[in-house]
Structures are given as C-alpha cells and as structure tokens.
Amino acid sequence: MTGPGTILVTGANGFVGRVLCDALAASGRAVRKAVRAVAGDATAITVGEIGPATDWRASLTGVSAVVHLAARTHVLHETAPDPLAACLHVNAQGTERLARSAAACGIRRLVFLSSVKVNGERTGERPYTEDDLPRPEDAYGASKRDAEQALARVAAETGLETVVLRPPLVYGPGVKANFLRLMHLVARGVPLPLGAVVNRRSLIYAGNLAHAIVTALDVAAALAGKRAELARLTGSLRVDSSRIRSELAWRPPFTLAQGLELTAQWYHARSA
C-alpha cells in the first residue's frame, strides 16, 4: 500500500486477530473489525456466520484492503456430521464470497491466512517449500486448500491482488489449545519425555505473524503479476521462510527467545 487506509480484519476478536489489530493501529491504519457476534466494541461490525451467502457490503464500504483471518478451525472432538462440508462452507465458500464482494467494491488487495496443514502433517529431511504439492490430511487443511484455489480464480477473473500466508503453529500471550496445555504441564512440573522425541517443528510468534501480515499489505502492490509465486509464502511443520524474506524483505521483529519469554510472562501473570 502507498499509505495508511482502513483495513477490514475478519476474526478480529480471535487470538491472531487481536494482535494484528494492535499492530495495524500502531502502523497508523484505521481498523474495521468484522466479528461473528456482538463484541461490545464500537469499531466492530457483526457479520454473522461466514458462508457463501454472507452479506459483506456494510463491512467493505470505505475499506482499502482486507485481512481474512476468520475460519472454522480444526477441532479434536468434531461434532459436525460432515466435517468436510462444514469446513468448506465457511473456509472455502465463505472466503470466495468475501473475495468476490471485495472485488465488486473496488478493493484491490486481500491477505488470506491459510495454514501449514494445506501442505500436510509432517515433513521428512527438509521443510516444505512453495513448490511442494499440497497434501492436506484433514477437513480443515482441505478446506484451506480449496479457499486458496478459489482466491486464485477470483484474482484471475477480477484483478483482486491476493496474498496467501501458511503459518505453522502460532504462539504468544493469549494462546490456547495444545500450546497452552503444554504450558500447564510445564508449570505443574509434569515430566515430559521431550528428550526422547527426535523431530523439528516450526512455530511463529503472534507478533511476528502480525508483522508479516502488515508487511504484505505494505509491499504487495510491487508484486502484482506474481500471484503464482505468492500462493505460498510460508509453509509446514518445518517452514522454509526464504520466500517471504526475499520477496517482501520481511524480517521477524521478535526472536524465538523473546517470543517465548513474552508468552511465559503472560502465562505466569494470568496464573498469579
């Protein structure tokens, strides 16, 4: 982008969404938050359930770019009778609806938060790269892959500039799910057999992910015509981040040690 503008953030009240909204505000941009239900925030717009019929018009008016974070995430104990259909409804069809609505409103750019699960569940001797064929193994990963393909179609048909990011595990203050459970175990002094586990896993601090998204908004205009190359900026359980570093000149502002320390400080503060 050539200057500050209003950014629509879907999933703004989620873990990554809250960090991103703070980062966007700090960069001088106005933020419009799209949420599923009323959140008691004057800057938020309620859009209801996301799917192929969502009405985005009120949310998109006056917006210069969109960051799409909202999704139906993978869960350990699935209750939907058809998990794939449920994920496709929100993650693929809902994303395509948003992209086409954005293009119809004259918005030029959309940054989509996909997932490493598009690549697969595990790597071998090397990390995934942008050239690897997607091999999702669950409904969530498959729906994110289909969303990426839908965005490519919309981009080709309308000229909407799209940037797709596939982050690995995201951690930081406010983290939930497996990472938080692991912190609980560590805090309780439960012995963990980590020394016997021989593997490598990539993870990204939420502040670094937010910084990468802001960077994508800042410099994506210079990369017009390179959508195929930008289809995968990050990937995998071990991530080769050389593409986003070279194409967007991105450098994570937080080191791993800093990210873990801030996360630990948050955990101890909430437990006090």
Catalytically annotated residues: 140
Distance CA 71, CA 69 (A): 6
Distance CA 211, CA 217 (A): 10
Q: List strand residue ranges (DSSP E) for 88-160, in order.
A: 109-113
Distance CA 180, CA 173 (A): 10
Pairing of strands 7-10, 203-205: unpaired
Residue 261: phi and psi, rounded to 5, are: -65, -45
Distance CA 190, CA 6 (A): 47
DSSP state, residue 234: S
User: Is 170 in a helix, a strand, or coil?
Assistant: strand
Instruction: Specify the amino acid at residue 258.
Output: Q
Give me the torsion for CA of 58, 59, 64, 68, rounded to 10°: -150
Q: Which of 112, 172, 169, 168 is nearest to 145 (CA)?
A: 112
